[in-house]
């Protein structure tokens, strides 16, 4: 595949960009002058209340005398504590992602008959339309699987006989289909990337309708298609922990915004995938892995607190890392003392690290988790708790499972599709109004000049 030639000259780019910078910078003080809720946040950092939901509840602090009081984080799906869901599945030693999808989309936990029927239907829906892999994935492979996933999602519109109808039944049907197909799309997109960009062989396994989502992912991604039961169960738990996170997270809110306009499921979900790709959202799991690769390269003694702390200071100063000043995998908009997803993944990671020879790396991650809040307080002068978020450990677990980096964020999407579809259903049935906030107009009224009069 060849990329398109670039006709936009460097000098032209400079001229256009300079013009933009001259006319379009908005000074920070204007945001406070006009009481603008930047990032839809209140002055105390809490989110602006823009809707109501029965889905995920992300509980990270309590308000006391008008102040945020830090607490251990709690995550519930339709009222069920995610820890209880996982604990129940562990006791019965079975896969649970499909069941959690049922819970989120349909509102209650399925009984045995309902679950079997749901799983069976997902199995039937797994296969991609005829020639979809050849036409939509292999003909235009992408270096980035998230971009391919967004494009493929949008393309599925063409293969749906009833794509636009926004009844509950139709959206539910599309949700089951997307939930079933995401593992196949990301795996085939990954295989195409291997073949066309990495010079490796491509293994196009077919999905197995009788296996769970987690088993299918491992089967489709691995060249030999093999995996152990423990590996598949661990991946299943990862999917459950990523399935939903309230309506305010960037990609679910994207689903809310797009669904409120009445657009179709494929357009709405493709937009959510695009949002999730961002490094401040789902894309952080990839940044975390890159960040640790860099720390491991530049810090001689991984157990030396002083040396690790100095490197973290450099990252926060923008002198190391990706220059953003962010330590990825740390901090959260709502959680304060702990992110329950990070707690669960860390617990799952420990025995796997011992078994796979990654204990030293695990200790380094834990050291970064311990030191970052101290350095954050020292640098920002803020007395604000900061905890590890889900991404600090998710990429590490995927790495120990031998999964390729390029599918870390797509795996997040493969899990979150059920949360997105549940938000879409909720928005379409009870949102009622197009989401349409306001922007303070800042441009001064300007008199039009003919071409010859312009300088």
Q: Is 277 in the site for ligand COA (CB under 6 A)?
A: no
Bridge partners of 388, per DSSP, are: 330
Residues 146 and 142: their CA atoms lie apart, in Å, by: 9
Which residue has tokens 């109004």? 433
Residues 314 and 254: their CA atoms lie apart, in Å, by: 34
Contacts of 353 (CB under 8 A, 6+ apart): 359, 361, 362, 396, 400
CB 335 within 8 A of CB 387: yes
Site residues (CB under 6 A) for ligand COA, limited to 30-89: 45
Tokens for 407, please give them: 């599918």
Residue by residue, DSSP assigns 263-278 as --HHHHHHHHHHHHTS
Output the residue with the shortest Cβ distance to ligand COA: 331
What's the closest the beta carbon of residue 43 comes to ligand COA, in angstroms? 11
Our measurement of the distance from residue 413's CA atom to the centroid of its chain's CA atoms, rounded to an integer in Å, reads 6
What's the closest the beta carbon of residue 329 comes to ligand COA, in angstroms? 5
What's the closest the beta carbon of residue 94 comes to ligand COA, in angstroms? 28
The residue (of 175 and 331) whose beta carbon lies closer to ligand COA is: 331
Contact region with ligand COA (CB under 6 A), list: 99-107, 319-327, 355-363, 420-428 = 319-327
What's the closest the beta carbon of residue 290 comes to ligand COA, in angstroms? 12
Among 236, 264, 391, 423, the active-site one is 391
Residues 285 and 207: their CA atoms lie apart, in Å, by: 26
Question: Distance of CA 231 to CAs 48, 227, 235, 349, 404, Å?
Answer: 40, 7, 6, 11, 15
Q: Which one of residues 77, 266, 328, 396 is an interface residue with ligand COA (CB under 6 A)? A: 328
Q: Which one of residues 257, 327, 344, 362 is an interface residue with ligand COA (CB under 6 A)? A: 327
CB 171 within 8 A of CB 421: yes
Contact region with ligand COA (CB under 6 A), list: 140-148, 267-275, 387-395, 405-413 = 387-395
The residue (of 336 and 406) whose beta carbon lies closer to ligand COA is: 336
Among left, alpha and beta (phi > 0; psi -120 to 50; other), residue 79 is left
Residues 292 and 199: their CA atoms lie apart, in Å, by: 26
Q: Which one of residues 236, 369, 391, 427 is an interface residue with ligand COA (CB under 6 A)? A: 391
Q: Is 104 in the site for ligand COA (CB under 6 A)?
A: no
Q: Which one of residues 284, 349, 364, 413 is an interface residue with ligand COA (CB under 6 A)? A: 284
Q: Which one of residues 107, 325, 351, 402 is an interface residue with ligand COA (CB under 6 A)? A: 325
Contacts of 453 (CB under 8 A, 6+ apart): none
| 3-state class (DSSP) for residue 69 | strand
Q: Is 336 in the site for ligand COA (CB under 6 A)?
A: no
Q: Which one of residues 220, 286, 316, 387 is an interface residue with ligand COA (CB under 6 A)? A: 316
State the number of CA atoms in the 13 A half-sphere of 440 facing the CB.
11
Q: Is 280 in the site for ligand COA (CB under 6 A)?
A: yes
CB 208 within 8 A of CB 215: yes
What's the closest the beta carbon of residue 153 comes to ligand COA, in angstroms? 22
What's the closest the beta carbon of residue 130 comes to ligand COA, in angstroms? 38
What's the closest the beta carbon of residue 326 comes to ligand COA, in angstroms? 4
Contact region with ligand COA (CB under 6 A), list: 143-151, 198-206, 225-233, 328-336 = 328-336
Site residues (CB under 6 A) for ligand COA, limited to 254-273: none
Q: Is 141 in the site for ligand COA (CB under 6 A)?
A: no
Helix 408-430 and helix 213-221, axial crossing angle in degrees, nearest 10? 140
Q: Is 122 in the site for ligand COA (CB under 6 A)?
A: no
Contact region with ligand COA (CB under 6 A), list: 163-171, 198-206, 208-216, 324-332 = 324-332
Among 188, 245, 332, 423, the active-site one is 332
332 is catalytic: yes
103 phi/psi in degrees, rounded to 5: -55, -50
Contacts of 62 (CB under 8 A, 6+ apart): 68, 69, 71
What's the closest the beta carbon of residue 325 comes to ligand COA, in angstroms? 6
Residues tagged active-site:
332, 391
Residues that bind ligand COA (CB under 6 A): 45, 280, 284, 316, 325-333, 380, 389-391
């Amino acid at each position: 595949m060849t990329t398109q030639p670039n006709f936009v000259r460097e000098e032209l780019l400079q001229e256009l960009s300079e013009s933009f910078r001259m006319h379009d910078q908005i000074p920070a003080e204007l945001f406070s002058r006009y009481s603008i809720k930047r990032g839809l946040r209140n002055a105390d950092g809490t989110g602006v209340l823009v809707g109501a939901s029965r889905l995920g509840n992300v509980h990270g602090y309590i308000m006391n005398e008008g102040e945020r009081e830090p607490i251990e984080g709690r995550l519930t799906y339709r009222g069920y504590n995610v820890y209880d869901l996982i604990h129940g599945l562990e006791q019965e030693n079975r896969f649970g992602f499909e069941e959690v999808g049922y819970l989120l989309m349909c509102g209650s936990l399925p009984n045995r008959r309902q679950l079997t029927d749901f799983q069976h239907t997902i199995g039937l829906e797994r296969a991609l339309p005829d020639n979809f892999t050849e036409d939509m994935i292999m003909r235009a492979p992408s270096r980035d699987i998230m971009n391919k996933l967004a494009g493929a999602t949008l393309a599925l519109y063409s293969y749906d006989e009833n794509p636009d109808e926004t009844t509950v039944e139709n959206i539910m049907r599309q949700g089951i289909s997307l939930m079933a197909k995401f593992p196949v799309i990301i795996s085939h997109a990954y295989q195409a990337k291997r073949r066309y960009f990495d010079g490796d062989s491509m293994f196009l396994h077919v999905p197995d309708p009788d296996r769970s989502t987690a088993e299918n992912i491992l089967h489709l991604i691995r060249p030999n298609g093999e995996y152990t039961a423990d590996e598949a169960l661990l991946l299943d738990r990862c999917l459950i922990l990523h399935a939903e996170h309230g309506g305010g997270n960037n990609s679910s809110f994207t689903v809310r915004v797009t669904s409120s306009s009445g657009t179709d499921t494929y357009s709405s979900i493709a937009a959510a995938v695009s949002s999730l790709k961002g490094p401040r959202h789902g894309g952080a799991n990839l940044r975390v892995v890159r960040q640790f690769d860099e720390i491991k390269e530049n810090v001689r003694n991984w157990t030396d607190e002083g040396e690790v702390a100095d490197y973290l200071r450099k990252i926060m100063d923008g002198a190391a890392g990706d220059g953003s000043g962010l330590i990825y995998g740390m901090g959260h908009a709502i959680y304060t003392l702990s992110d329950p997803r990070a707690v669960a993944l860390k617990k799952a990671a420990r025995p796997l690290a011992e078994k796979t020879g990654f204990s030293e790396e695990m200790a380094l991650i834990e050291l970064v988790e311990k030191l970052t809040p101290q350095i954050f307080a020292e640098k920002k002068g803020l007395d604000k708790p900061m905890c590890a978020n889900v991404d600090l450990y998710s990429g590490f677990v995927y790495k120990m499972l031998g999964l390729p980096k390029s599918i870390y964020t797509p795996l997040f999407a493969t899990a979150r599709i059920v949360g997105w579809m549940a938000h879409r259903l909720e928005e379409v049935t009870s949102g009622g109004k197009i989401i349409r906030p306001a922007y303070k107009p800042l441009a001064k009224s300007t008199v039009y000049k003919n071409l010859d009069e312009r300088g």
